[in-house]
């Protein structure tokens, strides 16, 4: 498992010009384990905090990793392993009824978001979301998580319409990439994470942070 003792991730990647290589038909929704305990982490769920550009203590209690507008990764209060067993109440409650086995990554920001033309005072930045994609790639490697098991909170709401996830809007819009439609955001994220995963050999670990090789 990855822990950022210095709470910082450094070095952003390049924009992926090609279309996402995953489509909705490629996403295989596994049967949900409704129990309270799992043996391994199974998925990653992306969120935005709907707050400011920096994490609050409350937000750190909800997610495992939080990324500020400068691309710095902050540890949450709970470690991802805490979500292997949610029965004890000591876990990050980022996604209703799907916390068990799930890693929660949150981009700090988007308070006041209404629509693409009214994004509020805390829009997500390119440096921020690229850091999140790179972090997810490292987690995929560290925990042997399938790219197909990466979702946005919005997608979980579509999959589980009878839960509290219904109607969640994170993440329906990426301000740095306004051309990406709501229906394409999830596949775009999976494509980006896949790209970072495939190119992780070109990266070095420096003082506990990820840095692009120059």
Domains identified in the chain and CATH numbers? 37-212 (3.40.80.10)
pLDDT at 3 > cutoff 70: no
Q: Please write the tens of the pLDDT for every residue from 56-70.
A: 999 999 999 999 999
Q: What is the pLDDT of residues 23-49, one digit of tens each?
A: 333 333 333 333 445 689 999 999 999
| CA-CA-CA-CA dihedral for 209, 60, 108, 182, to nearest 10 | 100
**Contacts of residue 108, Cβ cutoff 8 Å, sequence gap at least 6:** 48, 49, 51, 52, 53, 54, 55, 59, 66, 67, 68, 69, 122, 128
Report the alpha-carbon distance of residue 153 to residue 142 in Å, rounded. 22
pLDDT of the residue at 134: 96
Q: Are strands 150-152 and 43-48 parallel, antiparallel or unpaired?
A: parallel
State pLDDT tens for residues 97-155. Answer: 999 999 999 999 999 999 999 999 999 999 999 999 999 999 999 999 999 999 999 99
Give residue 200's pLDDT: 79
């Amino acid at each position: 498992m990855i822990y950022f003792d210095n709470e910082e991730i450094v070095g952003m990647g390049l924009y992926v010009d090609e279309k996402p290589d995953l489509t909705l038909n490629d996403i295989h929704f596994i049967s949900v384990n409704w129990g309270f305990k799992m043996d391994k982490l199974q998925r990653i769920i992306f969120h935005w905090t709907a707050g400011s550009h920096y994490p609050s203590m409350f937000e750190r209690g909800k997610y495992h990793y939080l990324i500020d507008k400068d691309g710095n990764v902050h540890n949450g209060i709970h470690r991802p392993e805490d979500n292997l067993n949610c029965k004890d109440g000591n876990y990050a409650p980022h996604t209703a009824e799907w916390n068990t086995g799930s890693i929660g990554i949150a981009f700090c920001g988007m308070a006041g978001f209404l629509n693409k033309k009214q994004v509020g005072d805390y829009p997500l930045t390119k440096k921020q979301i690229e850091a999140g994609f790179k972090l997810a790639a490292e987690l995929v490697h560290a925990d042997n998580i399938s790219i197909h098991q990466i979702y946005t909170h919005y997608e979980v709401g579509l999959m589980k319409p009878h839960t509290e996830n219904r109607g969640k809007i994170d993440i329906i819009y990426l301000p740095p990439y306004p051309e990406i439609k709501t229906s394409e955001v999830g596949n775009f994220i999976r494509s980006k994470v896949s790209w970072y995963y495939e190119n992780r050999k070109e990266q070095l670990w420096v003082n506990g942070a990820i840095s692009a090789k120059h």
